[in-house]
């Protein structure tokens, strides 16, 4: 696969066809226009992270099913070989380290949030849990109406079927790992 767009295009088409859905059906389920979905399947559209989340939630699948390549028994991941997803004008860098696999029911991301960076995530499916570990810097995590400050070397676990906002208002870059576990 040459680019992330081509990988997403191929995976979306496979998923849509496996679920026996038309582009119209996916548009209705996700809130993303049929024309955008068509462009995406042809590898001609650059989607934002929020658009991919909308499609994933509409199809009731994991986000990383769009960006994953078939599994091997052993996998060594080199961050420099990955195509990161950029949000908030590049202030949030997201690496899908271990994509979702139905047999494991989880996915792992590595995130870098530069000073002033912000990432908004819509609620996941009910029963989904998230595990965050901050490796450097400091994270402000807003869950619904509660705000948590997570310092370096600390972690938090929560039910992620709620609105989430990740912020770095500090002068140091925040690096964190995110594991998302999906219900069966």
Q: Is-above-0.95 flag for pTM? A: no
User: pLDDT at position 177, please?
Assistant: 97
User: pLDDT at position 90, please?
Assistant: 95
Greater model confidence, 111 or 55: 111
| Run of H or E including 131 | strand 129-136
User: pLDDT at position 72, please?
Assistant: 61
pLDDT tens figures, 1-35: 456 777 788 888 888 888 889 999 999 999 998 98
User: pLDDT at position 151, please?
Assistant: 97
**Is residue 21 within 8 Å of residue 58, measured between CB atoms?**
no
Q: How would residue 75 be classed by pLDDT, with cut points 50, 70 and 90?
A: confident
- pLDDT tops 60 at residue 116: yes
What does each C-alpha distance from 174 to 6, 43, 59, 107, 157 come to in angstroms?
30, 32, 31, 20, 18
Rg (CA), the chain: 16
User: pLDDT at position 70, please?
Assistant: 57
- pLDDT tops 90 at residue 48: no
pLDDT tens figures, 122-179: 998 899 999 999 999 999 999 998 999 999 999 999 999 999 999 999 999 999 999 9
């Amino acid at each position: 696969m040459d680019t992330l767009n081509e990988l997403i295009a191929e995976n979306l088409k496979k998923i849509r066809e496996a679920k026996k859905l038309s582009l119209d059906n996916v548009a209705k389920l996700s809130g993303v226009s049929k024309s955008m979905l068509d462009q995406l399947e042809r590898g001609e559209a650059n989607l934002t992270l929020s658009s991919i989340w909308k499609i994933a939630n509409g199809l009731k699948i994991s986000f990383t099913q769009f960006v994953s390549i078939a599994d091997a028994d052993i996998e060594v991941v080199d961050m420099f070989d990955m195509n990161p997803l950029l949000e908030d004008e590049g202030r949030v860098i997201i690496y899908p380290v271990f994509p979702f696999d139905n047999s494991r029911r989880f996915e792992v991301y590595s995130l870098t949030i530069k000073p002033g960076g912000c990432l908004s995530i819509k609620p996941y499916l009910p029963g989904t849990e998230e595990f965050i570990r901050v490796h450097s810097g400091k994270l402000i995590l807003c869950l619904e109406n509660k705000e948590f400050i997570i310092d370096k070397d600390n972690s938090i676990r929560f039910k992620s079927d709620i609105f989430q906002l990740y912020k770095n208002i500090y002068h140091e870059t925040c690096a964190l790992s995110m594991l998302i576990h999906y219900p069966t």
